[in-house]
Structure 1
């Protein structure tokens, strides 16, 4: 098993099953997440704050649980059986989540319980197998095929992005375009990812006879904790009596094998290097994932080109962090110059007042000075924030049209929004392109309808007694228009007002930020996966993969602390994150400069007599000195 190669290469056939498994699993995970927030808001009827909190809590749990999966794999079951057993838990979670989205299954409490239970099972499933699958793929390669293994991690990463791209496109379509149980089909949107996870499990099992399976090394975590504890106690009790030692872990050599001590040192050195990394994920997780996964899928092969120009994985990771910071600088420029209206803060709404009289009108809110200046005839105020619990009052209530508007408006909408106010004494039907508007007589207002950008000349307005044509002119990207229709002696007249300005930033300005963040993530993530595998001893490869994944979880925590707690404007927040990442990348670069690469496979050569190592004594009756990391074969710094 594990010896069969793809034709004419050093790539094992077994990795094909692992790559397909990862594609299906990522499709399953991101497909479910693509509609999760919508499910909370529109199906469970939670508010946005609760929905966001639960979403981030679930995401964080998915990246904290890899440590559990890694311990199970390295200590008891091995990577192969861990992936199988936790994939079954994963599938059960998806099924429970899908059942919870069926309207006829119990009351609202049952839906919430099933949904939360499903998410917990999914979190343990996806988190548990995540460090095992990548490490298991690396295990399939022979020791001398390091270049092939490095390219495998690029292919592995491409499968992640391919699954992510397709799922984030397909599952929202399934939810919105397919109707079931009288509404949006969340059960199907969650059911398809469940089916893909079943396929992932079947494909992984199908390759069983081809895999190279490394046996578990025993209860690694317990041994590591005991070794660390003994070293600390021994140093505390004997530091004054015994000579100094080169490393504090060397105080454990009286009881524990030197190989275990050296392996713990290796893992600690890498974990310390990971301390600055969550800041990268704090930036990355704020971007629009669908676009990033798509560009990552297209550009993953640039990793091979970058590998030629930047020798050393830590250099590539530092460069990736700088690129991510540049992405947020580009996002800051767009945010500062945008023309969209911000959604109102909590417990406030947007208020806009129209004066449809032939004379000035004063509008007053008791106890407040908003709209303090009189409104001229046919004038519209700008959108202003007011608390929702204020009673509306004005001097000419019967002649003033006032409306409360709450808007959540995206940066580069390809549609314009339009509505009509009819001051005519007859009902009017208006046709704008392919859209139909209806405005009742005597100050009736039509519904807000989105229309594509374009010139709208010859718009048809029909009453019961006549038909009129009006020229609205250009309805531009992202704008919000109100058209006031009036009956005059010469026919139907209109006044077009631009309530919200058209987008003044071309969508192409978003390209640099996505290119930068994607290029940065390709350099950072693929390299980090391979680095975590290559620098880990055989007994702790899954554990170190879990440590790498936990940097993502801590990145989400940083976002929650800064974004939710700081209360800054969006552009200020972007600039803060960019500055923090630049500072962190400098710190990381300094740490990386002093890091010396180690070949973990050389441990087998250095400690040939591992089980008897602590019993070997030199000719003068003293135990051999511990072999330090400085005695091991090294590679170039950074």
Structure 2
């Protein structure tokens, strides 16, 4: 019989009893989010964007969809900042959830009003984005050094539950949209989000509440500012020069908003500020030593290393999130065969193909943990987080090679069954499990204690940047010179983009793997026990 004291010392202590409240909340919230997200593109094309000329409608729907996704994954910066500095994770999650519910209500009420519907999307982006980094970080807060090894299990359950909600949302919401209209189809997710909020509130007295960090003179931003501005006798400030170049580039990007659109310009400006500011800080970081404690300087160094990993994940999200736009648009032009299940005859709707993704996630997570990973360990290969993520990025590229081959066949006039998409969905889903589920664990474990919420926000920001690449490519292919170049390849514009994104991911996987070899993992789980 195992010794409980030994188990606790090894980090295998009992599971926190409050975790089920967070898991149940996440299941309902993810049903609400994916329920509306997965019918958004079909609804825009069939109902809300009828004023747009038919040839441009699909492209406009794709633009609106990815703009919305950018918002969802941008507002985590706000949620993480409010949580870490002012209100704590619980309060921020609760109040953002109420905004989230209001957004769903707007979608249901303003189904035929463009401005009202877009207001609803904005509120959902604010609410969903605001709570997104905090719920996963809040799960991590419930663990300490005595049971930290159970966190891996809970993060897998957490991700499995997300996909449980997503599966039923993907399967049912297209049917509700088709048979009962948008008011019902968008109203049901709103009800589920309200239930999610009540469940989360019910566990309030059971949670471990980590208070927001007090003002810290040795915070990340203060150390970075010191490093950039510090002078040393006889030396220039090359890091500051790099940061200023990034700021000027960001300003230039904002000035281009009349031509690029505000979303692309603003997101690109943010990317330039973060990238050049981070590089510049790294170049001069040692200048902050002595003016700040060594631990604070090393904390900044750790964050900069984490941000490099995050930056290399962004191409994965470029590919993954297009399953709800580009892949649906492809499915609209495919043949849906008559299927029979338990005596019922039916045809698969294009939007319902997305149900394959969460269903496979629920199967692949236990398959990986119970079969594949033990087999790899048995032959001497440890599936570390960074190895898993490298493989996942490469698999995402492979899935787009397959989807591109399907598109080439369709362009050649070959009728393709919608069931052909099952293969790329399977490959992309394995990629998702290896990148996304692992990324949650990696981000929390590597983040310094005072920056858990903010680092999780940066992890989620990778999705914003990934969707930014989609918007840039989508805008580029509207240029006549670009279209002329694509025409010389002998491929259609859509097929060319598919192979472009495949190459983008495969090249990134090579670079990611090279960086992963040099990255030194740390353990930043909470050491003290809070009862």
Tell me the TM-score normalised to structure 2 length.
0.73
2:77 to 67, 78, 81: 67
CA contact (8 A) 1:75 1:220 kept: no
TM-superposed CA distance for 1:278, in Å, is: 1.0
1:272 aligns with 2:308: yes
Gap change, CA 1:303 and 1:221, over 3 Å in 2: farther
CA contact (8 A) 2:44 2:61 kept: yes
> 1:474-532, CA deviations, whole angstroms, 9 ceiling, x for partnerless residues?
xxxxxxxxxxxxxxxxxxxxxxxxxxx6x3x5666433322211111111111111000
In structure 1, C-alpha distance between the alignment counterparts of 2:95 and 2:403, rounded to whole Å: 43
CA contact (8 A) 1:73 1:216 kept: yes
Residue 101 of structure 2 aligns with which residue? 91
2:29 to 21, 25, 29: 25
Question: SS of 2:170's equivalent?
Answer: helix
1:301 aligns with 2:370: no
1:195 aligns with 2:260: no
Equivalent pairs, count: 420
In structure 1, C-alpha distance between the alignment counterparts of 2:373 and 2:174, rounded to whole Å: 36
Residue 446 of structure 2 aligns with which residue? 535
CA contact (8 A) 2:144 2:525 kept: no
TM-superposed CA distance for 1:339, in Å, is: 6.2
Matches of residues 154-193 of structure 1 in structure 2 within 5 Å? 154-178=156-180, 185-193=181-189
CA contact (8 A) 1:71 1:221 kept: no
> 1:385-433, CA deviations, whole angstroms, 9 ceiling, x for partnerless residues?
xxxxxxxxxxxxxxxxxxxxxxxxxxxxxxxxxxxxxxxxxxxxxxxxx
CA contact (8 A) 2:220 2:299 kept: no
Residue 409 of structure 2 aligns with which residue? 337
2:456 to 542, 545, 560: 545
CA contact (8 A) 1:32 1:171 kept: yes
> Which moved further from structure 2: 570-579 or 319-328?
570-579
In structure 1, C-alpha distance between the alignment counterparts of 2:313 and 2:22, rounded to whole Å: 27
Matches of residues 50-61 of structure 1 in structure 2 within 5 Å? 50-61=60-71
TM-superposed CA distance for 1:211, in Å, is: 0.8
Gap change, CA 1:221 and 1:121, over 3 Å in 2: farther
Gap change, CA 1:32 and 1:62, over 3 Å in 2: same
Residue 15 of structure 2 aligns with which residue? 11
Gap change, CA 1:506 and 1:53, over 3 Å in 2: closer
In structure 2, C-alpha distance between the alignment counterparts of 1:51 and 1:332, rounded to whole Å: 21
Residue 150 of structure 2 aligns with which residue? 148
TM-superposed CA distance for 1:583, in Å, is: 1.1
In structure 1, C-alpha distance between the alignment counterparts of 2:291 and 2:426, rounded to whole Å: 53
CA contact (8 A) 2:13 2:150 kept: no
TM-superposed CA distance for 1:581, in Å, is: 1.4
In structure 2, C-alpha distance between the alignment counterparts of 1:65 and 1:549, rounded to whole Å: 9
| Structure with the higher fraction of residues in helix conformation | 2
> Which moved further from structure 2: 320-329 or 62-71?
320-329
In structure 1, C-alpha distance between the alignment counterparts of 2:217 and 2:394, rounded to whole Å: 35
Matches of residues 106-121 of structure 1 in structure 2 within 5 Å? 111-121=113-123
Gap change, CA 1:306 and 1:75, over 3 Å in 2: farther
1:325 aligns with 2:397: yes
Gap change, CA 1:337 and 1:198, over 3 Å in 2: same
For CA contacts below 8 A with separation 6 or more, give which structure has more relative contact order.
2
Residue 312 of structure 1 aligns with which residue? 384
Residue 37 of structure 1 aligns with which residue? 41
Matches of residues 123-142 of structure 1 in structure 2 within 5 Å? 123-142=125-144
Residue 523 of structure 1 aligns with which residue? 434
In structure 2, C-alpha distance between the alignment counterparts of 1:335 and 1:246, rounded to whole Å: 44
> 1:293-317, CA deviations, whole angstroms, 9 ceiling, x for partnerless residues?
2221232223314443243100010
Question: SS of 1:326's equivalent?
Answer: helix
Question: SS of 2:312's equivalent?
Answer: coil
Gap change, CA 1:339 and 1:576, over 3 Å in 2: closer
CA contact (8 A) 2:445 2:525 kept: no
In structure 2, C-alpha distance between the alignment counterparts of 1:291 and 1:593, rounded to whole Å: 33
1:291 aligns with 2:342: no
TM-superposed CA distance for 1:69, in Å, is: 0.6
Over the aligned positions, Cα root-mean-square deviation in angstroms equals 2.7
> 1:438-482, CA deviations, whole angstroms, 9 ceiling, x for partnerless residues?
xxxxxxxxxxxxxxxxxxxxxxxxxxxxxxxxxxxxxxxxxxxxx
TM-superposed CA distance for 1:603, in Å, is: 9.1
CA contact (8 A) 1:83 1:133 kept: yes
Matches of residues 610-621 of structure 1 in structure 2 within 5 Å? none
Gap change, CA 1:122 and 1:42, over 3 Å in 2: same
| Structure with the higher fraction of residues in strand conformation | 1
> 1:158-200, CA deviations, whole angstroms, 9 ceiling, x for partnerless residues?
111111111122222222212xxxxxx3122111111111111
Question: SS of 1:12's equivalent?
Answer: coil
